[in-house]
């Protein structure tokens, strides 16, 4: 089921935890789902891996530059589920830093040298490693309609069962940071339209704000994106663009050119909600610290209840915003 918003008051990160308020989206849901262990799944974005499955069950989606000019996704599931997630691919260390913020179970097929070292060092401390090529292998399967390595798939049901079997907690720790959320505004208060264009080397992402549903509809290279897992168009409530340093390094792992992203520190942020843009900054103090979104006065920028897409882009990326 896809996360969806309800127009109710949402607690701030410092408020007592509400049994029915989902940690990652602020939506009102079944108490059995609201604080479940988050599942963070690494996905392929090679052109032949599209369309990927699982977008509409995720609470949070990250997209960031990766190897060879391509990008990679990380889908984070909590109150939502998906019967089909993939193609699952290898880990990169900056995704592990984001997954550590919520002590997620991390699903992946291997990883580069830095990721493998990080996973070995911090498994069962900062996250739970559900490695397809290791002890978590039974949670994954290969589909016949695609060729390896773009055919590794899983589901939230299989991953959650495997994560618990490997020693993961069943729920999110009560003391973890939780974002500030606000309830959706009424239709009469919303702009009629907004368009966001985010270019990557291997594809252009666009979002178009739909006033009638108070959602952004996503497209890739000019085509509306559809999630094969449920046959529906991919939508989100919030779009957050984070500008970070990006380079490739051939010394980290000899014989390979590996991506390095400046995910720790501070930088520019563009936060899109309900057809409006708020300029601000992001701040992440260390590998486990939350990535906070701050306005020009240093106050937290609230998100609207629902799914959030984090689009990580190199510092010189030109984002186009129109109506």
Answer yes or no: is 300 within a domain: yes
Answer yes or no: is 124 within a domain: yes
Q: Compute the CA torsion angle 233, 234, 237, 243 (nearest 10 deg).
A: -150
Euclidean distance between CA atoms 56 and 36, whole angstroms: 17
Per DSSP, helices labelled H in the chain are: 31-34, 93-100, 113-122, 156-165
Same domain, 59 and 161: yes
Answer yes or no: is 241 within a domain: yes
Q: Which domain holds residue 223?
A: 181-322
Residue of 50, 70, 82 whose CA lies nearest to 223: 50
Q: Which of 110, 135, 165 is the last residue of a domain?
A: 165
Same domain, 187 and 297: yes
The domain tally of the chain equals 2
Same domain, 151 and 276: no
Same domain, 138 and 230: no
Token digits for 1?
């089921």
Per DSSP, helices labelled H in 171-238 are: none
Same domain, 127 and 256: no
Per DSSP, helices labelled H in 28-155 are: 31-34, 93-100, 113-122
SS3 158: helix
Q: What is the pLDDT of residue 249?
A: 86
**Residue 277, H or E segment:** strand 276-284
Q: What is the pLDDT of residue 16?
A: 54
Euclidean distance between CA atoms 236 and 216, whole angstroms: 5
Residues of the chain with pLDDT under 50: 1-2, 4-15
pTM for the whole thing? 0.94
SS3 138: helix
pLDDT of 28-71, one tens digit each? 999 999 999 999 999 999 999 999 999 999 999 999 999 988 99
Q: What is the pLDDT of residue 90?
A: 97
Euclidean distance between CA atoms 24 and 58, whole angstroms: 10
Q: Which of 165, 192, 209 is the last residue of a domain?
A: 165
Token digits for 29?
């849901």
Same domain, 312 and 199: yes
Answer yes or no: is 170 within a domain: no
Answer yes or no: is 240 within a domain: yes
Same domain, 191 and 318: yes
Q: Name the DSSP class of 18.
A: P
Same domain, 146 and 195: no
Euclidean distance between CA atoms 108 and 161, whole angstroms: 16
Token digits for 27?
């939506």
Answer yes or no: is 21 within a domain: no
Answer yes or no: is 10 within a domain: no
Question: For residue 244, what is the domain's CATH number?
Answer: 3.50.90.10
Same domain, 279 and 211: yes
The number of residues in the chain equals: 323
Answer yes or no: is 13 within a domain: no
pLDDT of 214-223, one tens digit each? 999 999 999 9
Q: Which of 135, 165, 195 is the last residue of a domain?
A: 165
Pairing relationship of beta strands 195-200 and 203-210 according to DSSP bridges = antiparallel
Same domain, 148 and 50: yes
Residue 213 CA to its chain's centroid (Å)? 22
Euclidean distance between CA atoms 116 and 55, whole angstroms: 26
Euclidean distance between CA atoms 158 and 107, whole angstroms: 11
Same domain, 154 and 89: yes
Same domain, 206 and 285: yes
Q: What is the pLDDT of residue 256?
A: 87
Asked if 100 contacts 126 with a C-beta cutoff of 8 angstroms, the reply is yes
């Amino acid at each position: 089921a896809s996360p969806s918003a309800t127009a109710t008051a949402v607690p701030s990160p410092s408020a007592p935890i509400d049994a029915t308020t989902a940690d990652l989206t602020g939506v009102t849901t079944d108490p059995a789902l609201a604080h479940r262990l988050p599942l963070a799944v690494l996905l392929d974005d090679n052109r032949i891996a599209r369309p990927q499955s699982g977008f509409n069950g995720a609470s949070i989606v990250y997209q960031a530059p990766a190897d060879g000019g391509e990008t990679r996704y990380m889908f984070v599931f909590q109150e939502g589920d998906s019967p089909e997630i993939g193609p699952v691919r290898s880990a990169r260390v900056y995704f592990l830093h984001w997954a550590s913020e919520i002590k997620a179970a991390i699903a992946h097929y291997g990883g580069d040298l830095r990721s493998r070292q990080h996973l070995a060092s911090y498994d069962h401390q900062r996250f739970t490693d559900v490695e397809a090529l290791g002890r978590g292998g039974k949670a994954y399967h290969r589909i016949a309609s695609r060729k390896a390595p773009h055919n590794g798939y899983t589901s939230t049901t299989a991953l959650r069962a495997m994560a618990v079997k490997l020693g993961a907690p069943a729920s999110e720790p009560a003391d973890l940071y939780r974002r500030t959320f606000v309830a959706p505004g009424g239709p009469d208060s919303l702009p009629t339209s907004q368009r966001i264009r985010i270019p990557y080397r291997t594809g252009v992402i666009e979002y178009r704000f739909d006033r009638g549903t108070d959602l952004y509809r996503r497209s890739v290279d000019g085509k509306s994106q559809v999630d094969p897992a449920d046959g529906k168009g991919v939508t989100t409530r919030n779009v957050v663009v984070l500008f970070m340093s990006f380079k490739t390094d051939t010394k980290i792992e000899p014989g390979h050119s590996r991506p390095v992203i400046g995910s720790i520190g501070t930088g520019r942020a563009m936060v899109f909600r309900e057809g409006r843009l708020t300029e601000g900054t992001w701040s992440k103090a260390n590998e486990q610290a939350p990535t906070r979104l701050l306005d020009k006065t240093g106050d937290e920028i609230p998100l609207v209840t629902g799914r959030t897409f984090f689009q990580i882009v190199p510092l010189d990326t030109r984002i186009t915003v129109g109506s």
